[in-house]
Amino acid sequence: MQNTGPRRRALLVAAATLPLIAAAVAAGAPAQAAAGGHRSALAGTRPAWAEPGADQGRTPSGAQVTARVYLAGRDSAGLQALARSVSDPASPSYGRFLTPAQVDQRFGATPQQVAAVRSWLTSAGLTVFAADRHSLTVHGTVAAVQRAFAVQLRNFRKGGHTYRAPDRDASVPASVASAVLSVTGLSNAPHKAGHDDTLPPPDAAFVNAGPLSAYYGEKTATTLPQFGGVAAPYAVKGYTGRQLRSAYGAAATGLTGKGVRVAIVDAYDSPTIASDIATYAARNGDQAYRAGQFRDQPMGDWTHTDTSDTGCGAAGWYGEQSLDIEAVHAMAPDAGITYVGASSCYDDDLIAALDTIVDQRSATIVSNSWGEPELASDPSLDAVYNQLFQRGAVEGIGFYFSSGDNGDEVANTGTKQSDMPASLPWVTAVGGTSLAVGRNGRYEFESGWGTDKFTLSADGKSWTPVGYLYGAGGGTSARSAQPWYQRGIVPRSLSGATAGAVDRVVPDIAADGDPTTGFLVGQSETWPDGSIAYGEYRIGGTSLASPLIAGVQALAQQAAGHPLGFANPAIYARYGTAAYHDVVDPKGQLGNVRVDFVNGLDASGGLKYSVRSFGDDSSLKATTGYDDVTGVGSPTAFYLLSYLNSRR
């Protein structure tokens, strides 16, 4: 999520940061045999930074470790094949989804598998203190962990800190290899011991300065220097649901999302969310929430709530939660919305929240405005995420993920890469655009979201370039091979970016994400006098694009009359038709003028002026056809109408 003020933060980051390995772990695939053939390795469980040159010596054998062992279940190949067939409109099995009970019966771990894994862990000296149908959580000494997983835990220097990590990939005995999917917790970077916390108050208040346009181009900066040879428009106040529904064709169809339920997964839970979303709807012309339309389902037991290196900054997620709910409701006013707040921003907790939705089939569309650079993510969890998303696919559940807010990630990390989980093959990755909505909600144009910043010179006569600021995430995965639905559509210049490989490219589809052309959001904020009160401001990021597309998909599901499930095969099947705006970057300089309060609240501290450009997304470019900023493009009314009476 990108807000519009000095408290700008990156797309919400989840999970312990473990670097990339060369190859992905296929969900449920048999692990490779370790030395001697008596054990099977769990690929990706040794972080790449655990190198001899960083070795600080052995971790004391009596030190305590908490780890989570994920279960592989049964027939992983059958699960993947079924997920593909029920998701492909060209398949006779399209839309023939299973219930959660049927999925568990066919693909879940058997009691015998669970018992065997439990017996192995306890025989090594570990204590199983928590278990569910997908994992076992264990606790014990370093010595016991080393016996169980045939590793040596050592301390390594990383980024000025010392962390524990295994000296090789963990392995498991051949007798339980088919039952174990992966393990987390052997490394503690950047993890710290969890503890129950009280959630903090909302973040500091922010107010947009004016002039502000009610729609794109309403007001122009005629007293300021020209940009690109013209007087640039002032940024919009923030689009409303009515404007976005009109621009993307939803209003013309009459679809409202009736009968569909969307789930939103973030971390934590704003204590003022119910009143905030009701106030926002009333103030901005959105439909009031019916009784039971919004359901709040927090996981509780909050951990890592602070803002330290290992904390998640819980209050920063409140605005994300507000944005996601308000954006879905604005686009699909009759759709039900279930919010599931994970216990923290760490992978294990976010996976638990996603598992809850799949186990209960509590929604058929799931929006996720979080992620992290692929190199920072834990490759051993690719298998866990992919299995989860495949289970969802066979139940008719589709998962949507923000593609990221830092373009190709070079400016952010120094290395060109895509973001994860958006880069996984079983999710719909949502990119971002800069959207111009004109008078009466008319769609004027879109470019790829990519922003260079220019500040007003001291003499007020020119714009001084500052450089790249932010933009929609995208690019080529280094871990996931090209999925079948991208073949013949994604240019080889993108999918073949890694020598000798053909890989997954992100994103799949796009919607408005530019903070300069962003959405008006409302939430409770902490004001300078210490009071907490409702406020509104403009916001953007692919954290906006993902819930907008989730709302569009709720309309499409209503039109189809049945769940869409994993939507990528259907999305790509419509490529090259009137279903999409083919979004391209402008040929010349184009941007908006933005005015900000220096103190973020009022004019007492003065004003600052800048231009935010369109279509300058690092090395990523929105071009004719599929591209790595906007995917197949942004949806039109024809996209929604194409689902009417679609075959099931």
- Residue range 423-438, pLDDT digits in tens: 999 999 999 999 999 9
Model confidence pLDDT, tens digit, residues 148-168: 999 999 999 988 889 999 999
Give residue 308's pLDDT. 85
Q: Record the pTM.
A: 0.93
Give residue 192's pLDDT. 25
Contact 326, 283 (CB under 8 A): no
| Cis bond upstream, residue 166 (ω within 30) | no
Contact 344, 86 (CB under 8 A): no
Model confidence pLDDT, tens digit, residues 449-481: 999 999 999 999 999 999 999 999 999 999 999
Mean local confidence (pLDDT), 301-317: 90
Q: Tell me, what amino acid is at 134?
A: H
Phi then psi for residue 277, to 5 deg, are: -70, -30
Q: Nearest CA to 103 among 406, 357, 350, 394?
A: 394
Cα 298 from chain centre: 18
Model confidence pLDDT, tens digit, residues 114-143: 999 999 999 999 999 999 999 999 999 999
Contact 168, 42 (CB under 8 A): no
Q: How would you label 577-601 residue by residue, b for 16+ Cβ within 10 Å and e otherwise? A: eebbbbbbbbeebbbbbbbbbeebb
Structure tokens at 346: 């760490």
The Cα–Cα gap between 461 and 115 comes to 74
> For the chain, how far is it from start to end, CA to CA, in angstroms?
35
pLDDT tops 80 at residue 17: no
The continuous run of DSSP H or E covering 568 comes out as helix 568-573
Give residue 125's pLDDT. 97
The Cα–Cα gap between 429 and 473 comes to 10
Give residue 199's pLDDT. 76
Contact 599, 642 (CB under 8 A): no
pLDDT tops 60 at residue 31: no
Q: Where are the beta strands (DSSP E) in 244-328?
A: 261-267, 294-296
Give residue 37's pLDDT. 52
Give residue 189's pLDDT. 76
Give residue 4's pLDDT. 43
The Cα–Cα gap between 303 and 350 comes to 12
Res. 646 pLDDT band, cuts 50 70 90: confident
The continuous run of DSSP H or E covering 606 comes out as none
Q: Nearest CA to 169 among 155, 156, 157, 187?
A: 187
The ranges of the chain annotated as CATH 3.40.50.200 are: 2-13+200-641
What CATH number does domain 2-13+200-641 carry, 1.10.540.10, 3.40.50.200, 3.40.50.2300, 1.10.10.60? 3.40.50.200
DSSP reduced 3-state for 327: helix
Classify residue 445 by burial, with Cβ atoms within 10 Å: 0-12, 13-18, 19+: middle
| Cis bond upstream, residue 190 (ω within 30) | yes
Model confidence pLDDT, tens digit, residues 567-591: 999 999 999 999 999 999 999 999 9
Mean local confidence (pLDDT), 393-400: 98
Give residue 5's pLDDT. 42
Indicate the Cα dihedral angle 201, 270, 527, 6, nearest 10°.
100
Classify residue 62 by burial, with Cβ atoms within 10 Å: 0-12, 13-18, 19+: exposed
The Cα–Cα gap between 544 and 432 comes to 8
Mean local confidence (pLDDT), 179-183: 97
| Mean confidence (pLDDT) of the chain | 92
Q: Nearest CA to 432 among 315, 566, 585?
A: 585
Model confidence pLDDT, tens digit, residues 74-122: 999 999 999 999 999 999 999 999 999 999 999 999 999 999 999 999 9
Res. 648 pLDDT band, cuts 50 70 90: low
Model confidence pLDDT, tens digit, residues 241-259: 999 999 999 999 999 999 9
pLDDT tops 80 at residue 325: yes
Give residue 1's pLDDT. 67
Q: How far is it between the farthest Cα atoms of the chain?
A: 77
Contact 627, 621 (CB under 8 A): yes
Q: What is the DSSP string of 155-208?
A: EEEETTEEEEEESS--EEEGGGGGGEEEEE-SS-SS-------PPPPPPBP---
Q: Where are the beta strands (DSSP E) in 438-589?
A: 443-448, 450-456, 463-471, 475-481, 503-506, 509-512, 519-526, 532-540, 580-581
Mean local confidence (pLDDT), 202-221: 96
Mean local confidence (pLDDT), 347-357: 96
Contact 335, 551 (CB under 8 A): yes
Q: Where are the beta strands (DSSP E) in 269-395?
A: 294-296, 336-342, 365-368, 372-373
The Cα–Cα gap between 302 and 231 comes to 49
Give residue 457's pLDDT. 97
Half-sphere exposure in the Cβ direction for 313 (13 Å, CA): 16
Structure tokens at 322: 């507000």
